[in-house]
Chain A
């Protein structure tokens, strides 16, 4: 039964993608509903199972590791699965207003969308390094295809640049996988913890895999492809890319770091990764402050916010782990809301240049409200989900007396407030509101509503911290180590 639920998470979207390409146009909306609506109901019994047992493992087709591939569901995978399914549904609502399933655009868009979901689900379940490579390729190619549906020269160029870097990154990762197999004779993520001894070859392999994954997750200073790709994609696509696609590579880094190399004692490389995160926070925020377009502000904000996810490496205790996991979910929801709202504004104004936004609070109140709510969570103001994440980070740093990291986290919040308030101020305070002269196309209510729901979820996350923190505590690998 559980096996069937896990299989449904991956194969329902794949099946849907195939059917969408074959079925007549008028059936497409129904197919989309049939393959997405059951996904949360697949996760519900799995959540109960994980709350009881903590872990579920299965060998695909009955072949045990090392020859076969295992799937493994634990609390961390489950949490990100929930995030992805929620995003797929809510952002999907916004996208359905723009890419009508029965239209030609819809035919290009929705199969890729479902393949992306399938790829992410398979990635989160897989326990095999090579299988992770395959799923990562699936996620990247589907994501780039979605960027290209934007159709403009800038979007295609950004997609191409992303593709070249992503292919190179995958090759680095694959090289690492090859070396790991030559050294350890297994590719099972969790068996490697014992099979892979620290040494020159295994360290090289891990460095190669990390380098590839850092490019894919756009961690500073390897972020150069992200702002153009996320800033030029259609709104709902940017939302998914920023909220989840870059995070799944960081998820693999966490797995490698805390599971495969869990007892290696790596303070210096951990510090280095943390410093990269710090660089991301400062550099991304600084550039977000000077952008001229709304979507570019939001894209650079992603570069900055991804930095927090690297702080787990130097801080490396349960509190920091909970902080990073919480930040991942809260940022995912808030960033998706921001991009959906920004996409709506772009579609209705025909431009997202910041100086054209003046007076928009009266004309598109719902989208501007979404923008403001999501900003509250991104800045980390209470009582939002973003606040809980940043507060836990501060606590973790305080406990260890890591004043430098504390200052950095506080500064990051301040900078986020600066670049987001700049957008809100340009939108709402308008002595000579010159935006009014332009014609405005009302965005579809469904798209605005979906953005608002995402923003409300990001805020509401601040009130529902106990179950999520519990899940993260159960997933903390430090507790399992002897």
Chain B
């Protein structure tokens, strides 16, 4: 098994864990963790895809991943703030009881 294959398998595993967590978790914090794990799986895959063939890694995917991490951090911060506000207003940090927007 080549080392690139290892990275791809790790990425696939992480992505699977993320999707599973996103669907199963009730608490919003867990859902956010799951989304972050999915994101990290993609970052691993993108870095692996830029692995050096001739000893010189491709800089573009590295730059993309770096930007991606910045976006993931800010999106997570935003989501956490929204979650706190939701908790303050409704008293719960999950989406389970949804009145279907009727009231």
With A and B bound together, what is the CA distance between A296 and B78 in angstroms? 26
> Is A160 in contact with chain B by the CB < 8 A criterion?
yes
> Is B16 in contact with chain A by the CB < 8 A criterion?
no
**Which chain B residues have a beta carbon within 8 Å of chain A's beta carbons?**
22, 28, 31, 35, 38-39, 42, 45-46, 49-50, 60-61, 64, 67-68, 71, 74-75, 78-79, 82-83, 85-86, 89-90, 95, 98-103
A297 CB to nearest B CB, Å: 12
With A and B bound together, what is the CA distance between A151 and B82 in angstroms? 11
> Is A232 in contact with chain B by the CB < 8 A criterion?
yes
With A and B bound together, what is the CA distance between A156 and B31 in angstroms? 16
Q: Which residue of A lies closest to B61 (CB)?
A: A181
> Is A141 in contact with chain B by the CB < 8 A criterion?
yes
Q: Which residue of A lies closest to B71 (CB)?
A: A137
The reply to whether A227 and B86 contact each other, CB–CB distance below 8 Å, is: no
> Is A55 in contact with chain B by the CB < 8 A criterion?
no
A307 CB to nearest B CB, Å: 21
B92 CB to nearest A CB, Å: 9
Say whether, besides A181-B49, A181-B60, A151 and B28 are in contact (CB < 8 Å): no
With A and B bound together, what is the CA distance between A158 and B95 in angstroms? 9
Q: Which residue of B lies closest to A166 (CB)?
A: B75
A148-B85, A174-B42, A181-B64 known, 13 other contacts, Cβ within 8 Å: A134-B71, A137-B75, A152-B89, A156-B82, A159-B82, A160-B95, A161-B95, A163-B79, A164-B28, A167-B79, A175-B42, A178-B46, A181-B46
Which residues of chain A have C-beta atoms less than 8 A from B64's C-beta? 130, 177-178, 181
Say whether, besides A168-B35, A182-B49, A163 and B82 are in contact (CB < 8 Å): yes
B82 CB to nearest A CB, Å: 6
> Is A335 in contact with chain B by the CB < 8 A criterion?
no
**Of the candidates A157, A164, A182, A232, which one forms a contact with B31 in the assembled complex, judged by CB atoms under 8 Å apart?**
A164
Which residues of chain B have C-beta atoms less than 8 A from A141's C-beta? 74-75, 78
> Is A292 in contact with chain B by the CB < 8 A criterion?
yes
Q: Which residue of B lies closest to A152 (CB)?
A: B89
DSSP class of B's interface residues: helix, strand, loop or mixed? helix
Which residues of chain B have C-beta atoms less than 8 A from A163's C-beta? 78-79, 82
B22 CB to nearest A CB, Å: 7
With A and B bound together, what is the CA distance between A264 and B92 in angstroms? 49
Q: Mark A172-213, 1 if CB is under 8 A from B, else 0.
A: 001101110110000100000000000000000000000000
Which residues of chain A have C-beta atoms less than 8 A from B71's C-beta? 133-134, 137
> Is A53 in contact with chain B by the CB < 8 A criterion?
no
Which residues of chain B have C-beta atoms less than 8 A from A293's C-beta? 102
With A and B bound together, what is the CA distance between A168 and B31 in angstroms? 11
**Of the candidates B35, B60, B90, which one forms a contact with A164 in the assembled complex, judged by CB atoms under 8 Å apart?**
B35
With A and B bound together, what is the CA distance between A187 and B49 in angstroms? 14
The reply to whether B90 and A153 contact each other, CB–CB distance below 8 Å, is: yes
With A and B bound together, what is the CA distance between A243 and B14 in angstroms? 37
The reply to whether A171 and B75 contact each other, CB–CB distance below 8 Å, is: no
> Is A119 in contact with chain B by the CB < 8 A criterion?
no
Which residues of chain A have C-beta atoms less than 8 A from B38's C-beta? 168, 171
5 contacts between A and B (CB under 8 A): A153-B86, A156-B90, A168-B22, A171-B38, A174-B68
The reply to whether B101 and A148 contact each other, CB–CB distance below 8 Å, is: no
Which residues of chain A have C-beta atoms less than 8 A from B74's C-beta? 141
A53 CB to nearest B CB, Å: 30
A119-172 with Cβ < 8 A to chain B: 130, 133-134, 137, 141, 144-145, 148, 151-154, 156-161, 163-164, 167-168, 170-171
With A and B bound together, what is the CA distance between A440 and B5 in angstroms? 67
Say whether, besides A148-B82, A154-B99, A157-B95, A178 and B49 are in contact (CB < 8 Å): yes
Q: Which residue of A lies closest to B64 (CB)?
A: A130
A154 CB to nearest B CB, Å: 6
Say whether, besides A148-B82, A171-B42, A181-B60, A160 and B99 are in contact (CB < 8 Å): no
Which residues of chain A have C-beta atoms less than 8 A from B101's C-beta? 154, 158, 227-228, 231-232, 296
Say whether, besides A178-B49, A178-B61, A228 and B78 are in contact (CB < 8 Å): no
Say whether, besides A134-B71, A163-B82, A178 and B98 are in contact (CB < 8 Å): no
Q: Which residue of B lies closest to A131 (CB)?
A: B67
The reply to whether A156 and B85 contact each other, CB–CB distance below 8 Å, is: yes
A94 CB to nearest B CB, Å: 22
B50 CB to nearest A CB, Å: 8
With A and B bound together, what is the CA distance between A292 and B100 in angstroms? 12
A147 CB to nearest B CB, Å: 10
**Of the candidates B28, B35, B67, B89, which one forms a contact with A171 in the assembled complex, judged by CB atoms under 8 Å apart?**
B35
Say whether, besides A171-B38, A228-B100, A160 and B83 are in contact (CB < 8 Å): yes
With A and B bound together, what is the CA distance between A152 and B75 in angstroms? 22
Which residues of chain A have C-beta atoms less than 8 A from B78's C-beta? 141, 144-145, 163
With A and B bound together, what is the CA distance between A159 and B90 in angstroms? 13
> Is A67 in contact with chain B by the CB < 8 A criterion?
yes
Which residues of chain B have C-beta atoms less than 8 A from A164's C-beta? 22, 28, 31, 35, 79, 95
With A and B bound together, what is the CA distance between A297 and B78 in angstroms? 30
Q: Which 3 A-B pairs have the closest CB atoms?
A: A182-B49, A228-B101, A178-B46
With A and B bound together, what is the CA distance between A163 and B75 in angstroms? 9
